[in-house]
Structure 1
């Protein structure tokens, strides 16, 4: 068995504690050796107050996972690449397409792995859905991605600032699944963004896409849903109707359940990261991010009520 890949985490927030740390602890290919955060630490792990300090103080690291807000992701990723470390990018991979493309070029020149991760693609039903749709003619797609921002991002202001994406922070998960399972490339025709008067990023989005065959593809993203959360994709085809629910973990066709899976997304991401490092390859698919950029470029903007973290 080869030696473990020693990895450090930058950004010790909710996503790191809930997903990255458990996934790394259960993957024998990795050893969590360090972390970097201005105001948090992990028990039993070397702690630093910045990524730069971690790179300098933990020369044994082979790789870093960047779990920080996207607004600071480019400079951190560039520093890690220049230090010869492999880099795992949380979604979204950055704040602009240009900076992500630049990171991919730099990683290639430095001969290190850059992995732009899309955790929703690792949900239990996604690959089976893709395989099933390969043999179908898609007739209509409807996406409903509705959740409560106060539950998932309590007190977080970066999501409302330029580059924070607003409702596209969860909505990009749906786009990552759509670009994975739909047989044909699609593009945006119309969009409507609802932006709170005191924010720079949308709280709601309605998107109408199509493909070369004229297939209607509608997506509705909303961050104001209370109670049960909705993450589902319905695909009507000539073979029947496919339904992905719970963010892709449950799959059914014409009401017959095919998969009811567990939360395996980050375990799958770290398996893939290890594979890419072993193969000396990068994986930087920016299609989901490009659809978000298209929405910001094309959409009609509607001002809506101010958002406050507390009702």
Structure 2
């Protein structure tokens, strides 16, 4: 496929309007041919539908869909899209459970369509240079600090507090998507503590101790209650110095100094994601890495749960 890929965006919440629609508009790889959302309006000049079944029945020619819905409802929509022969872009996290993502991967393979589990933070400017620098280094320890104000970044998004909504692991899985990309050894959960508001089903904060297969400890601190300056930082201490990825992977430094240059082809998270999606569609392959989601599942298996004060918007 060399012509623009005809894509529909399903779910027109904040992430779709802030990131997906501008990234699609800025590339020649895709043409936006439809939007789908049960709430609100679509995009001027583009056909809009209330559900994906209505889109399919309309006769609109679609090659691919980008699913920006909450994770709890994404599997059935993706399954329907795969059955139409459409390629599927899954916003992160790719599903509410690991099993359903694996089922979608297998269904896409059987149907001969591409499935993309998109980990947008891996496309931040500092991630690939960090991965290159850490390759072959001895890791002494790593610290992940992801603390943000949920009222700023997820206003009115009640789904995030429901089962399958991930709570603080909605941003926390971004950190894990970076860590699983840049660290040279696999790592696993040793202990975890989850703080769950008494009126919610998902955690508002978490502290997790990992260890990699070479023995290095990795500590993660997540909190949705951060006010003032926000923190999205990964610090890795090695035998050759300390690497710091700040601002969600966007700023890289080594021992506080100048970092290796970023690959300009990866500039911008969502433009990078859509370049990758176009590439796998045209190559006829899928890209479904479940390692960040698997770690979140393992955290829940190992965690102690603590009831904390109720959370109100």
Instruction: Please indicate the TM-score interval, normalised by the length of the shorter structure.
Output: over 0.9
Asked if 1:267 is matched to 2:268, the reply is no
Instruction: Give the corresponding residue for 1:28.
Output: 28
Alignment of structure 1 residues 51-66 onto 2, 5 Å: 51-66=52-67
**C-alpha deviation, 1:135, in angstroms:** 2.9
**C-alpha deviation, 1:260, in angstroms:** 8.6
**C-alpha deviation, 1:242, in angstroms:** 0.1
Asked whether the equivalents of residues 123 and 267 of structure 2 are also in contact (C-alpha less than 8 Å), the reply is: no
Instruction: Give the corresponding residue for 2:157.
Output: 156
Which digits, 9 at most, give the CA deviation of each residue in 1:80-99, with x for residues without a partner?
Answer: 00000000000001111111
Instruction: Give the corresponding residue for 2:293.
Output: 289
Alignment of structure 1 residues 1-311 onto 2, 5 Å: 2-40=2-40, 41-258=42-259, 264-309=268-313
**C-alpha deviation, 1:59, in angstroms:** 3.5
Asked whether the equivalents of residues 136 and 237 of structure 1 are also in contact (C-alpha less than 8 Å), the reply is: yes
CA RMSD after TM alignment: 1.3
**C-alpha deviation, 1:152, in angstroms:** 0.7
Which digits, 9 at most, give the CA deviation of each residue in 1:28-76, with x for residues without a partner?
Answer: 0100110000122112211000111112214411000000000100000
Change in Cα spacing, 1:157 to 1:263, as seen in structure 2 (3 Å) is farther
Partner Cα distance (2:207, 2:261) in 1: 28
**C-alpha deviation, 1:227, in angstroms:** 1.1
Change in Cα spacing, 1:239 to 1:98, as seen in structure 2 (3 Å) is same
**C-alpha deviation, 1:143, in angstroms:** 0.5
Asked whether the equivalents of residues 64 and 87 of structure 2 are also in contact (C-alpha less than 8 Å), the reply is: yes
Partner Cα distance (1:35, 1:297) in 2: 38
Partner Cα distance (1:45, 1:260) in 2: 39
Asked whether the equivalents of residues 208 and 218 of structure 1 are also in contact (C-alpha less than 8 Å), the reply is: yes
Which digits, 9 at most, give the CA deviation of each residue in 1:163-208, with x for residues without a partner?
Answer: 0000000000000000000000000000000000000000000000
What's the TM-score once normalised by structure 1's chain length? Answer: 0.97
Asked whether the equivalents of residues 160 and 200 of structure 1 are also in contact (C-alpha less than 8 Å), the reply is: yes
* SS of aligned partner of 2:258: strand
Partner Cα distance (2:215, 2:59) in 1: 53
Partner Cα distance (2:129, 2:59) in 1: 41
> Tell me, which stretches of 5 or more residues in structure 2 are unaligned?
none
Partner Cα distance (1:223, 1:35) in 2: 31
Partner Cα distance (2:241, 2:104) in 1: 42
> Tell me, which stretches of 5 or more residues in structure 1 are unaligned?
none
Partner Cα distance (2:125, 2:47) in 1: 33
What's the TM-score once normalised by structure 2's chain length? Answer: 0.97
Partner Cα distance (1:98, 1:135) in 2: 33
